[in-house]
Amino acid sequence: MTVSPSPRNIGPFTVSPIGLGCMNLSHAYLPRPEPRQAKKLLLHALDQGVDFFDTAALYGFGANEELLGHTLMGRRDEFVLASKCVLGGKGGQRGLDGSPQAIAATLEGSLRRLNVEHIDLYYLHRLDPNVPIEESVGALVRAVEAGKIGAIGLSEMSAKTLRRAHAVHPIAAMQTEYSPWTRNAEVAVLDACVELGVGFVAFSPVARGVFAGGVGPDGVPEGDIRATMPRFQSPHLERNLELAAQFKTIADQAGCTMAQLSLAWVLSRRANIVVIPGTTSEVHLNENLATLTLPLSVETLAAVDTLLTFEAVSGPRYPKTAQAQVDTETWPGEPLE
């Protein structure tokens, strides 16, 4: 089989199955590219037909939105633009504020930094447990009515929260980590998205770089956000790299790269899924896009399922503080600390 290159629907938008997550151009992962290299990568993606770019107010605490604003907006009609609010800088620390006042203020900042008057898709980046989801969504409904955003999305939220939000206003997209080694979305939210007609946007679809060959036995550099994640710490890292080696064997036998196999597996799960891998490399971006022309057998994809069950990967996906900011379902027995 070949994963269809045909466009997929995310709410009112039709986009290629593979977009671009822009976070690691400015935030979280190391090493980061120089601004000139980052701009070149963004323009290359646009030239290669990428038509869905994902950023957030959090990324670089505004620097990522500014990067896109300076680089892409001269070709604004060629792509769907997505950004996010609620999760951001608070007192010099990463924090949540889902109040309508904070959402309105963050949106104004996003519009200014992105150099636009309208953002196509604007997400609530996380659920603020201190603010009813209905109030947070209501703030974005008013932004839709004012013409400042086109559609509303949620990120890392549960099926229950999705239903509550969708009752206030149609939700266009749910964005959640989803890859062969993070399958929480399969507990409930993927099915809820299909039921409600909500698009699903998979971030970190190559296992935060592990299935792109970007993580070795020494782990990741100090200061990289993954260094705080248990899966990238001993003794979990060693076990997970063993799984990655077995995953690579499946990819080698199929005649593709690990990243291509991981992307193809995610895209094969539902017809409403779009993936947004991030990269700082034009070569890797081209490799990712080539996934849509690769023939992969049903047996190959089944081998991924057999290797990477819910229980296979070692360690929690987030440290305790970050896990507390995630509303996504956990699977029975999932380690959380």
112-123 CB burial, b ≥16 within 10 A, e <16: ebbbbeebbbbb
Instruction: Provide the pairing of β-strand 87-90 with 93-96.
Output: antiparallel
User: How far apart, in Å, do the first and last CA atoms of the chain sit?
Assistant: 39
Q: Please tell me the predicted confidence (pLDDT) of residue 316.
A: 96
Q: Please tell me the predicted confidence (pLDDT) of residue 337.
A: 75
- Architecture of the domain whose range is 8-210+260-295: Alpha-Beta Barrel (3.20)
pTM: 0.97
Contact indicator for 272, 200 with CB cutoff of 8 Å: yes
Per-residue pLDDT of the chain (337 residues; tens, 9 = 90+): 668 889 999 999 999 999 999 999 999 999 999 999 999 999 999 999 999 999 999 999 999 999 999 999 999 999 999 999 999 876 656 789 999 999 999 999 999 999 999 999 999 999 999 999 999 999 999 999 999 999 999 999 999 999 999 999 999 999 999 999 999 999 999 999 999 999 999 999 999 999 999 999 999 999 999 999 999 999 999 999 999 999 999 999 999 999 999 999 999 999 999 999 999 999 999 999 999 999 999 999 999 999 999 999 999 999 999 999 999 999 998 988 7
35-65 CB burial, b ≥16 within 10 A, e <16: eeebbebbeebbebebbbbbbbbbbbebbbb
Determine the Cα–Cα distance for residues 24 and 37; give it in Å rounded to an integer.
Answer: 12
Structure tokens at 240: 């997970």
**Nearest residue to 228 (alpha-carbon basis) of 320, 155, 329, 157:** 320
Determine the Cα–Cα distance for residues 58 and 12; give it in Å rounded to an integer.
Answer: 25
Residues assigned a catalytic role: 59
Q: Please tell me the predicted confidence (pLDDT) of residue 234.
A: 97
Q: What is the DSSP string of 220-270?
A: S-TT-GGGGSGGGSTTHHHHHHHHHHHHHHHHHHHTS-HHHHHHHHHHHH-
Q: Please tell me the predicted confidence (pLDDT) of residue 90.
A: 63
Structure tokens at 331: 């699977």
Determine the Cα–Cα distance for residues 54 and 270; give it in Å rounded to an integer.
Answer: 20
Determine the Cα–Cα distance for residues 92 and 115; give it in Å rounded to an integer.
Answer: 25
